[in-house]
C-alpha cells in the first residue's frame, strides 16, 4: 500500500468535494423545512407566490453555501495509534474520539455527486446510538482505502480484539450450513396470513368512513327532506358495501403479502448463528450471528394463539439508523423452535433458576385514568353540546378498565442470576428474554405518582432495543438495578 | 471459562443510594436562566411582530391575556430551571457513571464503564463565556441510554472524559 501511516497523524480536511455534498444536503434540508410556507401560499393563492418562492430560493442558496463552507473548513480528522479523532464546528465545537476497537463496520457510499468527482463517503459505524457514527463526507478512493486498511490493520493488532476479522465485511462471513430449525409449509403460510394484524386496516377504514359522514353532514344542511333520506339510505348502502369490500380486500391483501414475503421460509441454525431465507419472487436472506443477538422477543395474538404460532424477533446490535432492518423476524414459530432459539441464547435455560414477580396493581388505575377517563371526558364534553348520545363515550372507561386488568394480570417478570424473562400482553401474549451481560445501561424512572406510592419503572437498554419493567416497588427496583449493574460490571463475556 | 453461579447476598452489593450525587457548577444555573430568558425574549419579539404586522384587530383583553400568559410561563420556566438544577447531579464510581435529572419525571441512568462506546466534550458559545463544558457519553444502547452531563466547570469535562475512556479501555479484556 502506498499510504504512509505517519501521514494520518496530521490533522486533515476532507476532499473539497465535501463542500458540494454538504451544500446539496443543506439546500434540500432548508427547502424541506420551508414546507409550511408552501402550504400557506397554497391556501392563500392571491399572495405573491413567485416573489416568496424566489426569496426562499435565494435564502436557501445563501444559507447552505455559507453553512457548507463553514462545515467544510472546520472539520478536521486524524488517525492515531488506537483511535480516530475528529473535531468540527465553528460556534458549537465538537471533539469526538472513536477507538478503533469500537468500530463495527467501515463502508463506502456514493451518491451522484460523489460519482461525478470520483470520491466516496466513508462511514464508520460503531453499533452505538446515533451520536457515535462518523461520516467523512468526501475522500478520494485511494485515501479512503488507505484509511480503511489502516483501521483494520490497527484493529487486528489490538490485543483486545479476537474476532476483528468478521467485522470488516458482513457479506464475507455468511453463517455456514446448519440445522434446519423451521421450514414453513403452505398451511403454515395460510395460518400466518389469516392471523395478520387486520386492526390497522380497520383503522384506515374507520377514518375513511368518518370522512364520508362529515361530507354527508355538509350536504344534509343544504338538501331537502326527500333527498336527505335517499342520500342517507344510499350512503349507508355504499358504506356497508365498501366496508365489506375493504375488509375482504384487506384480508386478501395481507394474505398475498404473507405469501410473497414468507413463501418457502426456512430458518437455519448453525455454530455461527441463524440464517433466514424466504420470498416467492425475490428471495431475501438475512443472518444474525449468535454474539450479535442482544435480546429475544416473541409475540402472538388471539388468532395466532389458536393456531399455536408466534412471531419470533431476534434483535441484533446495530446502529440507530439500522435498528429496524437488523431485527430478524420469524413468523409462524411453534413452541419447540422458540425453545431451541431461547436455549441457544440463554445457555442452560432452567425455569427453576428464576424467581417470579408481579407488577403493582396500581398500574390499572393509571391506565384507566390516562387511556380511559381523560379521552372519554374530552370526547364527551366536546360532543355534549350537540347531542345526549355523547354520554356513550363514557362506556369507553369500563372497557379500558377491563383491558387494564388483563394487562396487570398478564405482566410477569422472572429474575435469575443470568437474566430476565418477562411475559405481558392485553389480548395476545408477548414474551422477552434478556441476559444481563447484554445490558448497556440501566435507568430508573419515577413519575410524581410513582414517587408518592414508592414505585418505579426500570429500563434496561441493550444494543438491540430496550426492555422496560413498569410499576414495581421502589426498593425492589433499586435492588434489581444494583444487582444488574453488578452483573454487568463483573461479566467478562463480550456482549457482541 | 466455567460459569460460576454462587448465590449473592443482595445486601452486600454496592448501593447507589449510599453515594452522594455531585451537583453541577453554580455557573450552569446562570447559563440555564440565561437560556430560558433568551427563549422568552425571542417569543416576545415574535408575538410583537405578529401584533405589529397583523391586519386584523386584536381586542385589548386578548392582548392583556397574552402578556399575562407570557409572564406566567416565564416565571414558571425560571422556577422549573431552578428546581431542575437542584435535582441534576452525577456520581462517579469505580465501575460506573450515574446521572440524575427531571423535576416531575425523575430518571437516574447508570452506564458501566465497560459498556461505554465513546465520549465527547462540547461547549456552546454561552457556555464558553461561563467557562463551562458539557460531557456526552454514548453507550451502544438505543435512545435514552446516553448520558449528557452539562455544567462542568473549567476543563473538568476533559479530565472526566480521559478518565472514563481510560477505564473503558481497561475493562476490555
Domain chopping of chain A, boundaries? 5-172, 182-262, 362-405
- Residue ranges of the domains in chain B? 26-84, 89-171
Which residues from A are below 8 Å from B8, CB to CB?
A: 417, 483, 486
- Average the pLDDT over B43-67 and give the result: 86
* Cβ-defined contact of B145 to A466 (cutoff 8 Å): yes
- Condensed to tens digits (0 to 9), the pLDDT of residues A30-39 reads 877 777 776 6
| Phi/psi at A387 (5° precision) | -155, 150
The residue-averaged pLDDT of A246-268 equals 84
Q: At what angle do helices B60-87 and B26-53 cross, to 10 degrees?
A: 160
Degrees (nearest 5) of the Cα angle A66, A75, B129? 80
Query: Taking 60 as the threshold, does the pLDDT of residue A5 lie above it?
Result: no
Partner-chain contact B120 A317, CB within 8 Å: no
Model confidence band, residue B4 (pLDDT cutoffs 50, 70, 90): very low
Q: Return the C-alpha torsion angle A296, A301, A304, A309, nearest 10.
A: 10
Q: Pick left, alpha or beta for residue A35 (phi over 0 → left; psi -120 to 50 → alpha; otherwise beta).
A: alpha
Set of cell numbers at residue A92: 458549537
When the candidates are 3.40.50.80, 3.30.450.90, 3.40.50.2000, 2.30.29.30, the CATH number that belongs to B89-171 is 2.30.29.30
- Best A441, A466, A478 residue to mutate vs chain B (most B CBs within 10 Å): A441
pLDDT, one tens digit per residue, over A131-171 is: 557 888 888 888 888 888 888 888 777 654 434 333 333 33
Report the pLDDT value the prediction gives residue A207, as an integer from 0 to 100: 62
Which positions in chain A touch B116 (Cβ < 8 Å)? none
What does the pLDDT read at residue B21?
86
> Quick one: cell of A208?
375513511
A98 Cβ under 8 Å from any chain B Cβ = yes
Residue A191: predicted pLDDT: 85
The answer, for A466 touching chain B at a CB cutoff of 8 Å, is yes
Residue in B with minimal Cα distance to A452: B104
Q: Which residue has the cell 442470576?
A: A417
Give the chain A residue nearest B113 (alpha carbons).
Answer: A489
pLDDT surpassing 70 at residue B27: yes
**Closest residue to A102, CB basis, from B95, B117, B143:** B117
Mean pLDDT is lowest, of A253-262, A293-302, A341-350, A457-466, for A253-262
Out of A222-226, A356-360, A435-439, B51-55, pick the least confident: A222-226
Query: Band of the pLDDT at A99, cuts 50, 70, 90?
Result: confident
Kindly determine whether residue B114 and residue A488, on different chains, have CB atoms separated by under 8 Å.
yes
Query: What is the 3 state secondary structure string of A187-225?
Result: HHHHHHHHCCCCHHHHHHHHHHHHHHHHHHHHHHCCCCH
Mean pLDDT to the nearest integer, A303-313? 90
Average pLDDT of the residues in A347-366: 92
Q: How far apart, in whole angstroms, are the C-alpha atoms of residue A70 and residue A165?
A: 37
Question: Which of residues B163 and A215 earns the better pLDDT score?
Answer: B163
Does the pLDDT of residue A471 top 90, yes or no? yes
Taking the CA atoms of A152, A157, A159 and A163 in sequence, report the sign of the dihedral they define: positive
Query: Which residue has better confidence, B135 or A51?
Result: B135
> Which range has the worst mean pLDDT, A5-9, A64-68, A265-269, A289-293?
A5-9
Give the pLDDT of residue A1: 40
Confidence of residue A218 (pLDDT cuts 50, 70, 90): low
> What pLDDT is recorded for position A153?
84
Look at A93 and B14 and tell me if their CB atoms are within 8 Å. no
* Closest residue in B to A480 (Cα–Cα): B10
The class of domain A5-172 in CATH terms is mainly beta
pLDDT in tens, B92-139: 888 899 999 999 999 999 999 989 888 889 888 889 999 999 999 988
A251 has a pLDDT exceeding 50: yes
d(CA A433, CA A343): 11
Which residues in chain B (23-82) have CB-CB distances under 8 A to chain A?
A: none
Residue A29 pLDDT greater than 50, yes or no: yes
Cross-chain Cβ contact A488/B115 below 8 Å = yes
- Tens digits of per-residue pLDDT, A176-205? 457 888 888 888 888 888 887 666 655 555
Q: What is the pLDDT of residue A166?
A: 38
B2 chain-A contacts, CB cut-off 8 A: none
Q: Residues 98..127 of B with a Cβ closer than 8 Å to A: which? A: 104-115, 117-125
Amino acid at each position: 500500500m502506498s499510504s504512509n501511516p505517519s501521514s494520518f497523524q496530521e490533522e486533515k480536511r476532507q476532499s473539497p468535494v465535501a463542500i458540494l455534498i454538504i451544500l446539496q444536503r443543506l439546500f434540500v434540508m432548508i427547502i424541506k423545512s420551508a414546507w409550511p410556507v408552501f402550504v400557506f401560499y397554497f391556501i392563500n393563492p392571491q399572495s405573491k407566490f413567485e416573489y416568496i418562492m424566489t426569496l426562499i430560493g435565494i435564502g436557501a442558496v445563501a444559507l447552505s453555501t455559507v453553512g457548507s463552507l463553514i462545515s467544510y473548513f472546520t472539520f478536521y480528522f486524524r488517525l492515531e495509534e488506537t483511535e480516530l479523532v475528529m473535531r468540527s464546528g465553528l460556534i458549537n465545537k465538537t471533539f469526538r474520539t472513536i477507538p478503533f476497537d469500537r468500530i463495527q463496520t467501515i463502508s463506502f457510499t456514493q451518491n451522484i455527486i460523489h460519482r461525478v468527482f470520483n470520491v466516496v463517503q466513508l462511514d464508520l459505524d460503531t453499533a452505538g446510538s446515533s451520536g457515535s457514527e462518523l461520516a467523512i463526507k468526501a475522500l478520494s478512493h485511494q485515501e479512503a482505502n488507505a484509511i480503511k486498511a489502516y483501521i483494520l490493520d490497527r484493529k487486528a493488532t489490538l490485543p483486545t480484539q479476537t474476532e476483528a476479522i468478521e467485522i470488516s465485511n458482513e457479506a464475507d462471513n455468511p453463517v455456514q450450513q446448519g440445522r434446519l430449525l423451521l421450514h414453513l409449509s403452505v398451511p403454515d403460510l395460510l395460518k400466518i396470513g389469516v392471523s395478520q394484524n387486520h386492526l390497522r386496516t380497520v383503522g384506515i377504514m374507520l377514518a375513511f368512513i368518518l370522512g364520508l359522514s362529515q361530507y354527508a353532514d355538509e350536504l344534509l344542511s343544504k338538501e331537502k327532506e326527500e333527498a336527505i333520506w335517499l342520500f342517507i339510505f344510499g350512503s349507508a348502502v355504499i358504506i356497508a358495501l365498501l366496508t365489506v369490500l375493504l375488509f375482504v380486500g384487506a384480508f386478501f391483501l395481507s394474505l398475498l403479502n404473507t405469501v410473497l414475503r414468507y413463501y418457502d421460509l426456512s430458518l437455519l441454525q448453525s455454530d455461527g448463528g441463524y440464517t433466514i431465507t424466504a420470498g416467492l419472487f425475490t428471495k431475501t436472506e438475512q443472518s444474525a450471528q449468535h454474539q450479535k443477538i442482544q435480546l429475544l422477543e416473541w409475540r402472538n395474538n388471539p388468532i395466532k394463539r389458536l393456531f399455536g404460532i408466534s412471531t419470533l424477533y431476534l434483535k441484533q446490535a446495530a446502529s440507530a439508523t439500522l435498528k429496524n432492518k437488523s431485527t430478524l423476524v420469524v413468523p409462524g414459530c411453534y413452541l419447540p423452535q422458540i425453545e431451541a432459539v431461547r436455549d441457544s441464547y440463554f445457555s442452560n435455560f432452567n425455569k427453576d433458576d428464576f424467581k417470579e414477580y408481579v407488577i403493582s396493581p396500581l398500574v390499572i388505575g393509571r391506565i384507566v385514568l390516562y387511556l380511559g377517563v381523560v379521552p372519554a371526558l374530552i370526547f364527551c364534553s366536546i360532543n355534549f353540546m350537540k347531542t345526549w348520545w355523547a354520554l356513550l363515550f363514557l362506556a369507553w372507561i369500563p372497557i379500558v378498565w377491563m383491558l387494564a386488568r388483563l394487562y396487570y394480570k398478564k405482566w410477569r417478570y422472572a429474575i435469575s442470576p443470568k437474566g430476565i424473562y418477562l411475559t405481558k400482553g392485553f389480548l395476545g401474549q408477548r414474551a422477552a428474554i434478556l441476559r444481563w451481560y447484554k445490558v448497556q445501561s440501566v435507568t430508573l424512572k419515577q413519575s410524581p405518582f410513582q414517587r408518592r406510592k414508592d414505585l418505579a419503572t426500570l429500563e434496561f437498554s441493550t444494543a438491540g432495543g430496550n426492555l422496560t419493567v413498569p410499576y414495581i416497588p421502589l426498593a425492589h427496583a433499586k435492588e434489581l438495578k444494583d444487582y444488574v449493574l453488578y452483573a454487568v460490571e463483573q461479566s467478562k463475556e463480550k456482549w457482541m | 471459562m466455567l460459569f460460576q453461579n454462587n448465590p449473592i447476598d443482595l445486601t452486600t452489593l454496592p448501593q447507589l443510594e449510599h453515594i452522594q450525587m455531585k451537583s453541577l457548577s453554580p455557573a450552569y444555573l446562570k447559563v440555564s436562566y440565561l437560556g430560558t430568558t433568551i427563549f422568552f425574549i425571542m417569543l416576545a419579539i415574535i408575538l410583537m411582530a405578529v401584533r405589529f404586522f397583523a391586519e386584523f384587530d386584536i381586542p385589548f383583553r386578548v392582548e392583556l391575556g397574552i402578556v399575562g400568559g407570557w409572564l406566567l410561563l416565564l416565571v414558571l420556566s425560571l422556577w422549573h430551571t431552578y428546581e431542575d438544577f437542584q435535582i441534576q447531579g452525577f456520581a462517579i464510581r469505580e465501575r460506573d457513571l450515574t446521572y440524575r435529572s427531571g423535576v416531575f419525571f425523575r430518571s437516574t441512568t447508570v452506564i458501566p464503564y465497560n459498556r461505554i462506546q465513546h465520549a465527547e466534550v462540547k461547549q456552546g458559545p454561552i457556555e464558553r463565556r461561563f467557562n463551562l463544558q458539557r460531557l456526552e457519553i454514548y453507550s451502544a444502547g438505543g435512545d435514552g441510554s446516553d448520558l449528557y452531563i452539562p455544567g462542568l466547570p473549567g476543563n473538568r469535562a476533559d479530565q472526566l472524559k480521559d478518565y472514563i475512556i481510560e477505564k473503558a479501555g481497561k475493562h476490555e479484556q
